Homo-oligomer: A and B are copies of this chain.
Amino acid sequence: MKLYDFKMAPNPRRVRMFLAEKGISYQQAGIEVVNVDIGKGETFSKEFKEISPYGGLPVLELDDGTRISESMAISRYFEELYPETPLMGTDAKSKALIEMWNRRLELGLYTAIAYSFRHGNPMWKPVTNQVAEFAEVSAENADKQIHKLNKHLAGSKYIVGDEFSVADITALCAIDFAKVIKRRIDEEKHPHLARWHKLVSERASSQA
């Protein structure tokens, strides 16, 4: 199969980290990487629109030609194929709680950062009706979400209790992505977030 990937973008990183955490070797799993350079606008091309009609990267192309986009859908595919080292929970309750936190992080933190970037950065102008005021409002929302996450992590080792999960991958990729809107972790203001960030950044998968 083929994995359409780009090293510098946060969503492809989520899938690479997921594979690394599960110990899936690209060679053994038969994954061939195809690089798509977002910086050069390659995701806006006609060719790429054929591969990903909703414009997203990464995309996993199976050997039968089926194309799966959306990081979480690709992650779920591998969670099903390789159930060892579960990252999406093991029973109804843990699966629901991991999905809940993953979504809170996506719909809150991640979306706020992405919207601020998309509406405020010239790179997105060709494909976005940019609203400068919304870029600012979104950056403020990102700050509120970071604050909220810091409070949550005061009482939780990982995003969902004592076990590392896909929600930690989403949170790490979002927090590190926030540099594009000039947000970095402030250890004084967000000690719990800083503690968690150090803990998950030390995992080998964070470099995948």
Contacts and interface: CB of A to CB of B under 8 A. Distances in A.
Interface of A: 53-54, 60, 62, 66, 68-70, 72-74, 76-77, 80-81, 91-93, 95-97, 99-100, 103-104, 108, 111, 129, 131, 133-134, 137, 140, 148
A106 to B, nearest CB: 9
A111 B54 CA distance: 14
Q: Point out which of A72, A74, A77, A95 has the most chain B C-beta atoms below 10 A from its C-beta.
A: A77
Contacts of A111: 111
A74 B76 CA distance: 17
A91 B70 CA distance: 17
Q: Chain A binding site: helix, strand, loop or mixed by DSSP? A: helix
Copies in the complex: 2
Contact of A96 (B73, B96, B137, B140): B73
Contact of A103 (B73, B80, B129): B73
A168 B99 CA distance: 19
Name the 8 nearest CB pairs between A and B, nearest first: A80-B92, A73-B100, A77-B96, A73-B99, A134-B134, A70-B103, A129-B137, A131-B134
Given A54-B104, A131-B131, A140-B129, A99 B81 contact: no
Contacts of A140: 129
B96 A68 contact: yes
Contacts of A53: 148
A68 B100 contact: yes
Given A54-B108, A133-B131, A93 B70 contact: no
